[in-house]
A = this chain, B = another copy of it.
């Protein structure tokens, strides 16, 4: 199947007179998909029950007859003002107990059953009207769950829901008290109605309490998404999609993904570099107008897993955005490069956000493919180039990766709850492993813990996993390839207690974490083989074979057969060395790539992707600055 390009469009923002010309220009640029409707509730239902669909009918007709396929969004991320009047208690409430006000978006609480019902209602009405419309070939449910920190709400609805959820889970207060260890500070409850969210306590609340609160909050996103999906299913055969975000881990995307057909995400490489990447000032300067060379690829691989193989980029940055601390423009070529990187990772579609820059409201400084005056913005020509190149090149067929990283949303919640070191961050740990593999030119699959099939992988990495489920423990015991778990992996029970016997307690691997240290900057422990361990260091005991040790002789990487445990957080040098060596032993080919150049292999092509601001050469292939090129694979 050939990948496709698309764009996000807001007919309600523009005079109807220009819709047809807009559609024609989209088609001319080689775009196939057009996403619409996801913020239009106030234009569809201006007052409760008073619907106005004619404009949307005509917009879909105009776009469809021009040759475009429509992704229709349910508009539930932006409940209109009257909805807040109708359900005043639907507003999300922050940790300090303040209801959030109307006037932007995502102001609803996932736990509010009244709003959940309203969301089902509008989804059903849209499904009934457009579910069989031939131009509507996909649906997007809501928009960017969790955006603006909206997963967790402290509303009355959430508090009631949490108590009920706990009652279902534990059945008795005593069972909960035992599971949480509430004896610790006389925190024992006699009734579920006594339990509040873990906020505004004098000092830190019980981590078990927090973890259940985080699980509950994630479950509400899942439940909310599910009822909309269930409403649409009988009404359409088109696939259901949600557009996730970058570096958002507040709810379990694998859980929502299970109810949908396709995962998509909104990729803003330059905004993310400015806003949510820890790295050196030098790195940030070098990739200022390109974005980090690995963050897009990581999310592509992650959402491929969330979508069980089917995934899109629903929003692709086309130029400067409006929301990062600083908002530079992409280097010429980046709007093409990002699209190709997605395609090389298996994206079915890449949609640019947005068609025409809106001259009004919150995102007026967010670039589009057109300027506000309808003149082409720089990305339009690059999108058109990608469309032509897709047309001209033979199909891109995916290849099976041989290296996998186990990824787990609850682990992120756990270590946010208990960082123990101020700079211990699960996402950062995982992506530093991922970056190490990318620097070696290795394709990676991301795997969820539940039902992970390791059989295809010669090397499996499991950094920072909160718990190690029994099934996974068993799979590791029989896995024929290499596996490197740790640091911190399997160090807690699901109830957030330290297991006894002490972790990691891996099958056949005689190693025990006797003591754990978190270390500030400047207190790194150098390794015998070069590089160092910083931030996190576990002291191991046991007879396992030592692979790496500090210059002081402390074991840092131990193994038994293929199963390894890594007892610290390696710096980039040590990370790459450890990974290179493991790949070599596992029979996975590696290559040392220059800074900014990346490789992605499919079954048919090797893509060379150059994030650097200067041309780079590798394997005799020269790639221009901000350029992509490809060669037939092998």
Contacts and interface: CB of A to CB of B under 8 A. Distances in A.
Interface in A188-225: 188-190, 194, 196, 198-209
Interface in A81-108: 81-82, 85, 92, 96-107
Given A41-B186, A187-B81, A498 B364 contact: yes
A180 B360 CA distance: 7
Interface in A342-367: 357-365, 367
B327 A199 contact: no
A421 interface: yes
A131 interface: no
A282 to B, nearest CB: 9
A49 interface: no
Interface in A295-343: 319-320, 322, 325-329
B418 A365 contact: yes
A543 to B, nearest CB: 16
A325 B520 contact: yes
Interface in A148-198: 148, 150, 180-190, 194, 196, 198
Residue among A194, A198, A204, A319 with max Cβ neighbours from chain B (10 Å): A204
Contact of A378 (B13, B188, B498, B515): B515
A287 to B, nearest CB: 11
A517 interface: yes
Contacts of A502: 371-373
Contacts of A92: 202
A103 B361 contact: no
Interface residues of A, number: 108
A597 B194 CA distance: 53
A70 interface: no
A589 interface: no
A523 interface: yes
A207 B363 CA distance: 9
Interface string A16-56: 00000000000000000000000111110011000000000
A620 interface: no
A113 interface: no
A79 interface: yes
A385 interface: no
Contacts of A377: 514-515
B320 A515 contact: yes
A257 interface: no
Contact of A207 (B204, B329, B362): B362
B365 A420 contact: yes
Interface string A365-384: 10100011101011000000
Contacts of A373: 500-502
A187 B103 contact: yes
A78 interface: yes
A285 interface: yes
A202 B104 contact: yes
A199 B104 CA distance: 10
A85 B195 CA distance: 12
Nearest to A179: B360
A325 B495 CA distance: 24
A12 B185 CA distance: 11
A362 B517 contact: no
B364 A497 contact: yes
Contacts of A106: 202-203
Nearest to A422: B325
B185 A362 contact: yes
A264 interface: no
Residue among A187, A199, A360, A365 with max Cβ neighbours from chain B (10 Å): A360
A359 B209 contact: no
A518 interface: yes
B196 A516 contact: no
B515 A206 contact: no
B183 A42 contact: yes
A522 interface: yes
Nearest to A325: B422
Contacts of A319: 515
Given A42-B188, A80-B188, A206 B326 contact: no
Interface in A106-141: 106-107
Nearest to A364: B498
A107 to B, nearest CB: 5
A274 interface: yes
Nearest to A44: B186
B200 A101 contact: yes
Contacts of A509: none
B361 A181 contact: yes
Contact of A497 (B360, B418, B520): B360
B107 A43 contact: no
Nearest to A523: B288
A3 interface: no
Interface of A: 12-13, 39-43, 46-47, 75, 78-82, 85, 92, 96-107, 147-148, 150, 180-190, 194, 196, 198-209, 274, 281, 284-285, 288, 319-320, 322, 325-329, 357-365, 367, 371-373, 375, 377-378, 418, 420-422, 495-502, 514-520, 522-523, 539
16 contacts: A13-B184, A42-B183, A80-B188, A92-B202, A101-B201, A181-B361, A184-B361, A184-B363, A185-B361, A206-B361, A288-B523, A327-B421, A359-B498, A360-B497, A371-B514, A371-B515
Given A42-B188, A107-B202, A326-B520, 7 more contacts: A39-B185, A81-B188, A103-B201, A203-B362, A204-B362, A325-B520, A359-B499
